[in-house]
Chain A
Amino acid sequence: MTPVQAIIAKEVRCYFVSPIVYVVGGVFLLAFGLLAESLVTAIGVYAVQMMQMQGGPAQINLNELVFRNLFSGSRLILLLILPILSMRLFSEERKLRTFELLLTSPVRISELIAGKFISVCLIYFGMLALTGVVPLVLALFSDFDWYPVLTGYLALALLGSLFLATGTFASALSENQIVSALLGVGILFVFWLLGFLGSLLGDTTMGHIVSYISFMEHYDRLVSGLIDTRDLLYFASGLALMLFLTHQVVDSARWK
């Protein structure tokens, strides 16, 4: 077992022993479920109205009306809860002085960050997999196109990973877990607002740049079923940047 694998195994184990994964997972599944339920109920009411008006079975596009809204709405849930999931990664080690053990073991800082980041991603992907119940149940009673649903899940996975990388960075900044979580949410919120600013600026060079920096338009494109390498590149580079910054913060102890 390599050091990275050892760190992943230890982190996942610690997550399941502590209540955090159950609380965060529970809140995420509950929020996701409630959102899905309210969307489906609203569509149901709409469908009945359509039927009464047209006098026959209504054509309802579940992809447009349910999944797109569901995935868009999940953004906010992720923004609020993922930094809570990642807040302990470095803060707790610093607080409990176990950081000294890790930094005096023959493990590279990059291996340390990789192990921690992969472990929290695994937890998140597990949570995401559980939400698969929603499309599976809907598939039993209705007909929809699976392709945009899958790209939507890809978007959720990429966005979540980016959020977790940001959260990992925030965690490296503070010894206090609450501060780390708030920092993470704060950084993500700024990028969220940049998306709005970009759309306000509209079709100008500045507008394009600002919109590109925010995760909003990249996410929306993926959710709409469009896989563009530019968006994939955005998430990959954002992830790399956040993990690089984490590396710099952790390594800063080494500066003279």
Chain B
Amino acid sequence: MIDVQHITKRYGQHTAIDRVTFSVAKGEVLAFLGPNGAGKTTTMRILTCFMPATEGHAQVAGFDCAAQPMEVKRRIGYLPETPPVYQELTVTEYLTFVGRLRGITGPNLTSALDQSISRLELGSVRHRLIGNLSRGYRQRVGLAQALLHDPPVLILDEPTVGLDPKQIIEIRELIKSLAGSHSVILSTHILPEATAVCQRVVIINGGRIVAEDTPEQLSARLRQSEKVSVTLKSPPQDCETKLRGIPGVLNVFPGQSNGTFLIECTLGRDLRDDIARCIVSNQWGLLELRTISMTLEDVFLRLTRHEEGLPHSVEAAS
């Protein structure tokens, strides 16, 4: 449905995105993950034909973004970073305007309007001026606008920003319900969101794709070691050294709170038993012992922090 081949965007000397390549299948939900300024919005703007790529090709629903922008625009629903709403209009007036811009008229417009308003629960504010609505409502009006013409492709730039937790869950449910019939790209910094909603994650940093996979695979692939967290009641000075002495332990770091230690172990070996025995025999007072699996958050930080020792498999994927 969406096919992006080696797109590059330069602003003068500055390269915003560099040879980005990815694709989205029909009915798939793809998360675009990356720190601010990574090039997420630029990529989305190229896909929505807001601006052209300096190099490379992007296709949406079989139409080229540069050569057939009108056809592409007709098939896309786009929610930019800032909801593009007119404060002087009421919700209904605004959605009517957007519908007409997209060539929806007459009874089709009325039904599209009603459907979009009920989908985003805007019924209670439909006759209020958008300027008087809260941030969350404006965001939902922006989403209603993107969904109005029921496009096969949805591009949502941080769709849940400014919403309260209940609304966030509702919007995520909405996006999940769109999967299957719609292809969705959404950008986010909120990692659980990517895990909750998307089948595939693209991590972008400094304008380049640094990883692309399912959320589970990403964390599995990046896990270089098993981590165990222990909390001790009375740790002596030399306990770190002693813990390091256990065969298979790679490193020991002090944890966030007093008496907590993070123990890195060789991949594929469960050392919890050995660690526990060592602690108990030394009478340090074992309070807690658990394994830590790498979350998407760790993956994200690892990939976007320019850390040394990035696994080759990940670099190869980009």
Contacts and interface: CB of A to CB of B under 8 A. Distances in A.
Q: Do A and B come from one complex?
A: yes
A168 B97 CA distance: 21
B50 A103 contact: yes
A254 B51 contact: yes
A183 to B, nearest CB: 24
The interface size bin for chain A is 20 to 34
Contact of B103 (A18, A98, A104, A106): A106
Nearest to B109: A1
Contacts of A138: none
Contacts of B54: 256
Interface in A46-98: 96-98
A256 B52 contact: yes
Contacts of B82: 96-97
A253 interface: yes
A107 interface: yes
Given A3-B100, A98-B86, A106 B50 contact: no
Contact of A101 (B100, B103, B145): B145
A104 B102 contact: no
A253 B50 CA distance: 8
Contacts of A256: 52-54
Contacts of B98: 101, 105
A6 interface: yes
A7 B80 CA distance: 20
Report, as a range, how many residues of chain B touch the other chain. Answer: 20 to 34
A97 B80 contact: yes
A208 interface: no
A13 B100 contact: no
Contacts of A6: 97, 100-101
B76 A13 contact: no
B73 interface: yes
Interface string B68-107: 0010011010101110111111000100011011110100
A101 B80 contact: yes
A144 B127 CA distance: 51
Contact of B93 (A13, A99, A105, A254): A13
Interface of B: 45, 48-54, 70, 73-74, 76, 78, 80-82, 84-89, 93, 97-98, 100-103, 105, 145
Given A7-B101, A100-B80, A256-B53, 20 more contacts: A3-B101, A6-B100, A6-B101, A10-B89, A10-B93, A13-B89, A14-B88, A17-B88, A96-B87, A97-B80, A98-B84, A100-B50, A100-B84, A101-B80, A101-B84, A101-B98, A104-B73, A106-B101, A107-B101, A253-B51
30 contacts: A1-B100, A3-B101, A9-B97, A10-B86, A10-B89, A10-B93, A14-B88, A17-B89, A96-B82, A97-B80, A97-B84, A100-B45, A100-B48, A100-B78, A100-B84, A101-B78, A101-B80, A101-B84, A101-B145, A102-B101, A104-B73, A104-B76, A104-B78, A105-B98, A105-B101, A105-B102, A106-B73, A106-B74, A253-B50, A253-B51
